[in-house]
Structure 1
Amino acid sequence: GDWRQRQRTQETVPRGICEAMCPARELRDREAQNRLHRFEMLAGTEKSRRPRGDPLRAVKEYSRPAAGKDSTNPSDLRPPAVLLKTVCYLIDDIAASRTLHPWSEIYGFVFDRVRAVKQDMIIQRLSGLDCVAILERTVRFFIYSSYHLCGEPLQLYDPCINDTHLQENLSWLFECYATETEPHPNQEEFQALGLLYNLGSTQATQHIMGLPERLRSTPAVKLALSINRAFLERNPVRLLRLAQGLNFLQCCALHRHLLTCRRDLLLIFSHGHSSRNCRFPLDRLAQLLSLDTALTAQLCQDYGVKVNQESQVVFSKAAFTEPEQGKLYCKLYHNIVAEKQRDLTVGSIIHGCA
């Protein structure tokens, strides 16, 4: 009975036959309704009253599943190979483009089209290597964006929405790793990224602890575990020292925890070194915080920590204060991450050739 049941399920799962990145019908409709994104327009028609769509650049849009609307029509669904091709196009020709600007608009376009890819995957209940290749690139895109667009106005980039999608894709990816028998050569990379991004989370820590020993003992996962331990033990000095050993994308994953970490360091030192005649060299503090001295002085000022004329920090329990909401700009303190990007291209970062 079980076999027959499986056979029946197989028959009811739609299989896509659309070979283009955007179904022909959707392209016609969006053309008629003037709903093409400028990245999809046929060169030379952008300025006309009704721009034409370029079949080689148009990509299926995300649309909410609506009542009475058939989303399972095979000619509107793209098979796995076409979905992977679509994601690679979005990375190579859009995200990594040297001519398209601004990046917040690139993000908005890629975000929406990747969502539509995911929808096609869910409807067809995809699994396997193409599925993993798509999810890995999507997760890298969201992690890179969380750093690159940090501090942008909310209408251009919403960190909460980015986070929701990143987490969903990450758990789907981990599910693929856990249930499929094919070898997954990038598993070490993503297990480490997941933990660095979700530092201090019980769920993330338990997930890692449940992995086979051979994965837990790989260099990337071991480093992520040490950083996680330092975070849980509230040891910011150790955490920032260990973070020096991370690569660029790992720093992007960690970056949302850095402000908390630096704040903790100043708080701990304000208590530990609080005495009227204790002076702490600013350049030494800068080293510990992985910031230059100007930014270190700025951060001290933000937290009410006094820096005197001789570039010495005067820690005091009483003086430490939390800045008002929105006064601290994370982006200001990005240099630990920015330095690691040096000559990496966006394409190589998201494809994982970094």
Structure 2
Amino acid sequence: MNLRKANRRVSEKRDAAGRGEQRRRTDEQWRGRAQVGDEERDEKHQQHGKDTAPRGTCQTMCPARELRDRQLQNLLHHFEVLAGTERVRKPKGDPLRAVKEYSRPAAGKDSTNPSDLRPPAVLLRTVYSFVFDRLRSVKQDMIIQRVSGLNCVAILERSVRFLTYASYRLCGEPLRLYDPRINDTHLQENLSWLLDCYATGAGPHPNQEEMQALGLLYNLGSARAAQHIMELPERLRSSPAVSLALSINRAFLERNPVRVLRLARRLNFIQSCALHRHLATCARDLLLIYSHGHSSRNCRFPLDRLARLLSLDAAPAARLCQAYGVAVHQDDQLVFTKAAFTEPEPGKLPCKLYHSVVAEKQRDFSVGNIIHDGA
């Protein structure tokens, strides 16, 4: 049986349940504007019927009142503490480093006080590397003030890059440190808002090609994400970044993991971060296809050749094969058999097994470079 026929047979046996759930969640988030959380709907409701949106006057990343209160309650993050006061009982807050915390709207609480709202220019300065758990607060201020235009685009671009980077860098961490579902929800919401800004606002938007491609790579296999790209003007669709993303998406839909992985080598670092969550599926599909197409007791397949296809070193490639029931002989030769293929136990293959595919592209880029400029 050749690989093309094996590919078709494998696609029919694919794990539809898991992928169906992921696509369902992804497609729901791509229906027009992504759904916002209850607290953000409450904030929009507070603004309904008002002719003028409030305008913030706070010129620091954290309002002075909040900084004073959190200092008194000893609620400062260690990144926000004034240098030299770390060891005192109640460290002092650094006005240049403290960042406004997210807080749910409460009855009787005025969330529109200008002195507590940061205007767009301050919000833009606020979006940097250590403020993951403050991004909701940034978006909260943006929603209340109805921020739009180029400042809104610039903030959202940095937010999308940060959350995309976090989806790669923190995957596999304990839930107490990182929840992938929460990160995914916020990334999809920010991405949907950003794409809406591109569609409805005046430019120029020099980063639009990058962000359009990033959205498709992150939502690989989503019909709505692909449809959105196909409705873009020809100038955007034919740009190098978007064209490459479309080719990868087509190969993914055709159940051609070898082509997906080959094309992925042309992606830059942040694009690879977006693709990262699909690498496990591609590796699994490749091994399943080969287990059917090369199924024979007497057939040997070189481990180093498979490792190159997977963009992995020999040791992690061998570990991956063994987890899926592919025999690895002492002479680094693989034996594929249909009957031996098995799904590994949950958690047996850590997400970081695939990190080398992405990490090699980071080179000397700092997190700040990645978030503010892309890489």
What TM-score does the superposition give when structure 2 sets the normalisation length?
Answer: 0.85
Quote the residue 2:112 is aligned against: 72
Decide whether aligned partners of structure 1 residues 163 and 38 sit closer, same or farther in structure 2, where only a CA change above 3 A counts.
same
Decide whether aligned partners of structure 1 residues 42 and 226 sit closer, same or farther in structure 2, where only a CA change above 3 A counts.
same
Deviations 1:279-322 (A, max 9, x none): 11111111111111111111100100011222211100000000
Q: Displacement of 1:67 after TM fit?
A: 1.7
Q: Which AA in structure 2 matches 1:199?
A: L
Query: Where do 1:275-314 residues align within 5 Å?
Result: 275-314=296-335
The yes-or-no answer on 1:201 pairing with 2:228 is no
Q: Take 2:92 and 2:329, find their aligned partners in 1: how far apart are those partners?
A: 64
Q: Take 1:235 and 1:252, find their aligned partners in 2: how far apart are those partners?
A: 20
Q: Take 1:64 and 1:10, find their aligned partners in 2: how far apart are those partners?
A: 21
Query: Where do 1:1-354 residues align within 5 Å?
Result: 11-87=51-127, 91=128, 95=129, 106=130, 110-352=131-373, 354=375
Q: Displacement of 1:152 after TM fit?
A: 0.9
Structure 1: give runs of 5+ residues left out of the alignment. 1-7, 96-105
Quote the residue 1:103 is aligned against: none
Q: Displacement of 1:207 after TM fit?
A: 1.0
Q: Displacement of 1:165 after TM fit?
A: 0.6
Q: Take 1:351 and 1:329, find their aligned partners in 2: how far apart are those partners?
A: 29
Deviations 1:64-91 (A, max 9, x none): 111221101111111111111222xxx2
Q: Take 2:80 and 2:310, find their aligned partners in 1: how far apart are those partners?
A: 45
Identity across the alignment (%): 78
Decide whether aligned partners of structure 1 residues 324 and 136 sit closer, same or farther in structure 2, where only a CA change above 3 A counts.
same
Q: Take 1:353 and 1:289, find their aligned partners in 2: how far apart are those partners?
A: 25
Q: Take 1:295 and 1:30, find their aligned partners in 2: how far apart are those partners?
A: 46
Q: Which SS does the other structure have where 1:313 is aligned?
A: strand
Q: Which SS does the other structure have where 1:22 is aligned?
A: coil
Structure 2: give runs of 5+ residues left out of the alignment. 1-47
Q: Which AA in structure 2 matches 1:51?
A: P
Decide whether aligned partners of structure 1 residues 271 and 341 sit closer, same or farther in structure 2, where only a CA change above 3 A counts.
same
Q: Which AA in structure 2 matches 1:287?
A: R
Q: Displacement of 1:353 after TM fit?
A: 5.1
Deviations 1:188-224 (A, max 9, x none): 0000000001100111111111111110000000000
Q: Which SS does the other structure have where 1:66 is aligned?
A: coil
Q: Take 2:189 and 2:97, find their aligned partners in 1: how far apart are those partners?
A: 27
Deviations 1:144-195 (A, max 9, x none): 1111111111111111111111101000000100000222010000000000
Q: Which AA in structure 2 matches 1:204?
A: A
The two structures, once aligned, show a CA RMSD in angstroms of 1.4
What TM-score does the superposition give when structure 1 sets the normalisation length?
Answer: 0.90
Q: Which AA in structure 1 matches 2:363?
A: R
Quote the residue 1:5 is aligned against: none
Q: Displacement of 1:20 after TM fit?
A: 1.5
Deviations 1:311-347 (A, max 9, x none): 2111000000000111111202221111111111111
Q: Which AA in structure 2 matches 1:318?
A: A
Q: Displacement of 1:9 after TM fit?
A: 6.6
Higher relative contact order (CA 8 A, sep 6+): 2
Deviations 1:109-141 (A, max 9, x none): x12222111110000000011111110001101
Q: Which AA in structure 1 matches 2:67?
A: L
Q: Take 1:353 and 1:258, find their aligned partners in 2: how far apart are those partners?
A: 21
Q: Take 1:22 and 1:295, find their aligned partners in 2: how far apart are those partners?
A: 45
